[in-house]
């Protein structure tokens, strides 16, 4: 009877090992391909590599970075620009990064004003 119990325990260990291997395969990060710009997506690095639509600026997770899903997003959400050439999306990408850099240059927070605001908030708690 002990032989059967040991076998089941051994099988459970093997199953857990195979499950760990499957989980390891699922965790692999999909790399951004420069050809994805033809679908209107560019890579943005914020800790992890994410893809951003240059038309609506929607961020997609790493799981959604598959050519079929990118094309589906383009055709369903942006059917008016789906037939545009690759150069259109490259221009949109340049405009997006220029806009982002201008916004960062314009929005500077005065440290003394921020400190005063924090102190006022503390006193009213």
Give per-residue pLDDT as tens, 67-121. Answer: 899 999 999 999 999 999 999 999 998 988 888 777 777 767 788 888 888 889 9
Mean of pLDDT over the chain: 78
Residue 75 confidence (pLDDT):
92
Q: How far apart are CA 90 and CA 98, in angstroms?
A: 12
Which pTM was predicted? 0.58
**SS in 3 state form for 39-50?**
HCEEEEEECEEE
* Block residue for tokens 């999306």: 89
Instruction: Identify the three-state secondary structure at position 112.
Output: helix
Q: How far apart are CA 71 and CA 77, in angstroms?
A: 10
Q: Write down the domain spans for the chain.
A: 31-123
């Amino acid at each position: 009877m002990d032989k059967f119990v040991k076998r089941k325990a051994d099988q459970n260990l093997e199953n857990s090992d195979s499950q760990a291997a499957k989980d390891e395969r699922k965790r692999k990060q999909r790399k951004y391909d420069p050809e994805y710009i033809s679908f209107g997506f560019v890579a943005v690095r914020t800790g992890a590599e994410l893809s951003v639509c240059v038309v609506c600026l929607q961020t997609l997770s790493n799981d959604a970075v598959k050519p079929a899903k990118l094309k589906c997003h383009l055709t369903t959400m942006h059917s008016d620009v789906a037939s545009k050439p690759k150069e259109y999306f490259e221009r949109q990408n340049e405009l997006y990064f220029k806009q982002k850099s201008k916004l960062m240059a314009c929005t500077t927070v005065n440290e003394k004003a921020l400190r005063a605001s924090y102190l006022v908030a503390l006193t009213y708690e």
